[in-house]
Amino acid sequence: MIRIPHVACLFLLSFILSSSIAAGTAPPSDTVIFGGDRVYPPFEWDDKGTPTGFHIDLENALAEIGKAKAEHRLDDWPVTTHALETGDVDVVPMLISDKRREKFLFTSAFYFMDHAIYAEQGTTKIPVLADLSGHTVAVEQTSYAQNKLETGYPDVHLILTGNTLEALQAVAQHKADYALLTTPTAEHLIRDQHLAVRRVSPPLWPQGYAFAVRKDRPDLLAWLQNSLNQAIVNGRYEAVYNAWRDRLEPTQTSSSQILKTSALIAGPLLLLAALGFGWSFTLRRRVAARTAELQDELKARKDMQAQLRHFADHDTHTGLPEYHHFIELGDKVLAEASSLPSPSKEMVVFKLAETETIIRTFGYSTGEGIIEEFAERLKGGHFDVTSYFGRGIFAVLCDQSTMNEAYDALSEQLETCGLGLYPQLICGIAHWPGHGTSCADLVKHAETALAVSIDRNHDCTTYDPTMEPDQTDLRIVAEFRKSGGTDLQAALQPQIDLKTGSIVGAEALVRWHHEELGFISPAKFIPLLEKAGLITKVTARMVDEAARISASLRRRGIDCTISVNVAVYDILETELPSIIKAALDRHGALASDLKLELTETSVAEDSEGIKIVLKELGTAGIYTSIDDFGTGYSSLSYLSSFPIRELKVDQMFVRDMVTCERNHSIVSSTIAMAHALGLSVVAEGAEDQETLTSLNALGCNRVQGYVISKPLSEDDFNAFLTKHQGTFSSTVH
């Protein structure tokens, strides 16, 4: 292994930090899952079920610094690298290589090691790798060594193993001529396992060891880099390293050995010096030289601490201040400006809008280049303080007139990777002191304005207090996340068959009675949950409730189909057939107990995709109704091509069909058309006996509305069934 003195190693680390990705401060999740090799001492290994090693202690330290919990999963190396690729683990420490950079993002290196060739004792030394040609060599599968040999030495026959110990055992058991492994771990295992194997080559491939994450996790990388920077600055890294120093550097001479050796040497030297001339002069020279060395080392340490502090306070990708340092500098600027006669500053937070598109189109390096070039452009502007928040978002604190003057220059073409690209800026602005007295408040309000700009497709928006989200809205979403939708209930509105007067079905309408917030209208919480991406949980809950209620009625001998409203997102973006099947199986319901209702407009959004899912559901016995028919603008062709068995005429036509001739004609023609296509018709919104009689005369199959019943709770619906089943015939006729 490369023997780098610890202080020198920290110098090297501080230098390499300048090439890492932007650091963040907030953990991406409460728990970060670290993967590792189960047989890789002294770095990581499974000690009777307990993850142990230098990496484990360092990972725990980084998690503590970053205010997260560390979870460790150790396995054979191929399993671990696959788990990182699939996202089953978040972070894996590994050697940096160009091939691995194609898949992963890396922090700065925190350790350096080399490889060596190992063989049975008595084997001739291997001075160069070319001497392995024609031999069998054991390496860990998916390891750095495997890649280097496969790309540079195709004549070498590889035996792939799950870990370092298996590779060494392959040599000891004559299954392989050689093994090519990382030196610290190989020598540690040879000593502990008493293997008749020794190193037969000089050190190979000196390389840095770093934490790797998937390329779609730049937020996690930023958090890791920030925690690592802080660990170096506050001494945690050095403490962990010193605790494992003897195992990480087993061949280094220990302090006690140095003292013993020094004592043996110093005795004769002192005696000779006492007998010789010039002892006093020599001693003074040595003391002076050593004093100068100590002064140089002290200065170097101070320089290193200053450099590391700079890295901790600045984004290593752009060189701009990190958020926390930006706030510190910004508050100083505001404090100085407050003494001016008419102070006016503004906070501008803006996003390079097309960064993600550029990365997808031209690659990650081009996206990085755009951000770096734009950061350099900001540094040349006349701004008080600038910062990079990550994800293509920058912040600037300046005089209110400065940004107007600089905006055109910031929007000019950027040159990177041989491409000329124009940055598209989307801005949010907050004014000081009107929109906040601290730098943090200004950033918060400018970010709110930026979110409004993005949502409304505006180039720039100035903060206004009315932009702040409603606290009740935020709480509604938070409460739903907490409950997972388990406190949603179904209100059931009965449907009757106009020929028999029997109650044959009901529509399940979602209701939410919160313990503290009281009744929350669907018109209030449904749009909020749709925007938060939680509407699928509402659908799953209502499907489950419908299956449970219909199964309960069936056990009482009552056939009552329950209709559930579903959105186009539920059909196209979720496994809706699986969700329905699981609910039916869970409650012992039949497919015929459930009916899906889709709006006419939603069916037209992605007709081919929806048709596939509806056919799958129809094959399973679950049929579909088109809700709010007549309110959309889609082609009627889907009525014949889709597996649809029912139309629901919207209440806007039914409610006044008796008094409005036009609406009466719409209802009449819809019923006639549906029957001609073999579809049944449900009219919703019937509110009086005259409407009921008119619908019956037109041949409508079913009806629901207040003339029959308002939506009922499950208990009230059961009581309603008991009281009225079969008693509506006189009302209908």
Instruction: Quote the mean pLDDT of the chain.
Output: 83
CB 625: neighbour CB atoms within 10 A? Answer: 23
CB 390 within 8 Å of CB 22 = yes
* The pLDDT of residue 105 is above 90: yes
Residues forming a β-bridge with 44: 40
Integer CA distances (angstroms), 173 to 77, 140, 167, 192, 313, in order: 21, 16, 10, 17, 53
CB 397 within 8 Å of CB 442 = yes
Least confident segment among 119-123, 353-357, 448-452: 353-357
* The pLDDT of residue 305 is above 90: no
- State mean pLDDT over 72-82: 93
Percent of the residues in the chain that have a pLDDT greater than 70, as a whole number: 83
The arrangement of secondary structure in 474-732, i.e. its CATH architecture, is Alpha-Beta Barrel (3.20)
First-to-last alpha carbon distance for the chain, in angstroms, is 95
Q: Which residue has the higher pLDDT, 425 or 280?
A: 425
- Dihedral pair phi/psi, residue 371, rounded to 5°: -65, -45
Percent of the residues in the chain that have a pLDDT greater than 90, as a whole number: 44
pLDDT band at 34 (very low <50, low <70, confident <90, very high): very high
CB 32 within 8 Å of CB 221 = no
* The pLDDT of residue 58 is above 90: yes
* The pLDDT of residue 238 is above 80: yes
* The pLDDT of residue 712 is above 60: yes
Amino acid identity, position 289: A
Residue found by looking up tokens 């006044």 in the block: 656
CB 111 within 8 Å of CB 239 = no
pLDDT band at 20 (very low <50, low <70, confident <90, very high): very low
* The pLDDT of residue 724 is above 70: yes
The whole-number pLDDT of residue 653 equals: 92
Integer CA distances (angstroms), 440 to 331, 405, 434, in order: 8, 25, 14
| Cβ neighbours of residue 75 closer than 8 Å, sequence gap 6 or more | 35, 37, 38, 83
Integer CA distances (angstroms), 198 to 123, 201, 415, in order: 9, 9, 54
pLDDT, one tens digit per residue, over 248-289 is 875 443 334 434 434 443 444 444 444 444 545 555 565 566
Indicate the fold that domain 114-205 takes in CATH: D-Maltodextrin-Binding Protein; domain 2 (3.40.190)
Q: Which helix (H) or strand (E) holds 91?
A: none
* The pLDDT of residue 158 is above 80: yes
Check if 6-111+208-248 and 114-205 are the same fold.
yes
For the domain 6-111+208-248, what is the CATH superfamily, name and number?
Periplasmic binding protein-like II (3.40.190.10)
pLDDT band at 88 (very low <50, low <70, confident <90, very high): very high
* In the chain, domain spans: 6-111+208-248, 114-205, 255-307, 323-467, 474-732
The whole-number pLDDT of residue 535 equals: 85
pTM exceeding the 0.75 threshold for the entire prediction: no
| Cβ neighbours of residue 22 closer than 8 Å, sequence gap 6 or more | 218, 222, 225, 315, 316, 317, 318, 388, 390
Angle, vertex CA 700, rays to CA 695 and CA 704, nearest 5:
75
pLDDT, one tens digit per residue, over 627-652 is 877 665 444 666 767 788 899 998 99
* The pLDDT of residue 729 is above 60: no
Angle, vertex CA 264, rays to CA 261 and CA 268, nearest 5:
140
Least confident segment among 97-101, 344-348, 528-532, 567-571: 567-571
The whole-number pLDDT of residue 574 equals: 77
Least confident segment among 229-238, 280-289, 554-563, 665-674: 280-289
Half-sphere exposure of 658 (CA within 13 A, CB side): 14
- State mean pLDDT over 197-208: 88
Q: In sequence order, what DSSP letters do the residues of 532-601 get, joined into one string?
A: TT-HHHHHHHHHHHHHHHHHHHHHTT---EEEEE--HHHHHHS-HHHHHHHHHHHHT--GGGEEEEEEHH
- State mean pLDDT over 387-397: 89
CB 506 within 8 Å of CB 452 = no
CB 598 within 8 Å of CB 558 = no
The arrangement of secondary structure in 323-467, i.e. its CATH architecture, is 2-Layer Sandwich (3.30)
* The pLDDT of residue 730 is above 80: no
Preceding peptide of 42 cis, ω within 30°: yes
